[in-house]
Amino acid sequence: MAGKNVVMFGPPGAGKGTQAARLVELISVPHISTGDMFRYHIKNGTDLGKTAQEYSNQGKLVPDDVTIAMVKERLGRDDVKGGFMLDGFPRSVPQAEALNGMLQEYGMPLDHVVNISVSDDEIRSRLAKRASIEGRADDADPAVIQNRIDTYKSQSEPCLGFYEEQGTLRNIDGIGTIDEVFARIEKVFQ
């Protein structure tokens, strides 16, 4: 099985969480979701959660120093020594650079950045559907959705060039059924 230190990447609503859950089964590594970490902190009313909620409600990213500290602590745990799946981080080039530093410090190379590509119209459609099914308020407001798309394009998308230069970027067409998209991802690990 090819490299097991993986970042799942793509715009909001691309299906990262769904595909990451399947991929961690395939490669037997912990699924580290910053979204899950934030939701935990928000639900439990921690200081981090309150900060994250303020930004999330506006469709903005949580400040780097908060997110980086949280991820660094998680990657320092013993259960990730055999590999990990990061979902929702990095979301900016400074975060990608910070991740590189963490991984060098821990002696863990990044093997793959699996980028699920979908169009803006597909993102809008998927987020509206997710809002009605899961009741996620951050997916219901078209203005917030557009802000999330714009934020992704201006802050997160530049990471693709960063990882392309490092030779770790794996672009995956995100259109099709969950099984079709996963079959494309599986090929990276064969």
Residues with catalytic annotation?
16, 91, 130, 136, 148
In whole angstroms, what is the distance from residue 134 CA to residue 90 CA?
25
CA 17 to chain centre: 8
Of 42, 44, 45, the C-alpha closest to 55 is: 42
Phi-psi region of 98 (alpha: psi -120 to 50; beta: other; left: phi over 0): alpha
Torsion sign, CA atoms 44, 6, 139, 144: positive
Structure tokens at 140: 């219901």
Q: Distances in Å between the alpha carbon of 99 and those of 57, 90, 150, 175?
A: 26, 7, 23, 29
Show Cβ contacts of residue 54 under 8 Å, excluding neighbours closer than 6 positions: none
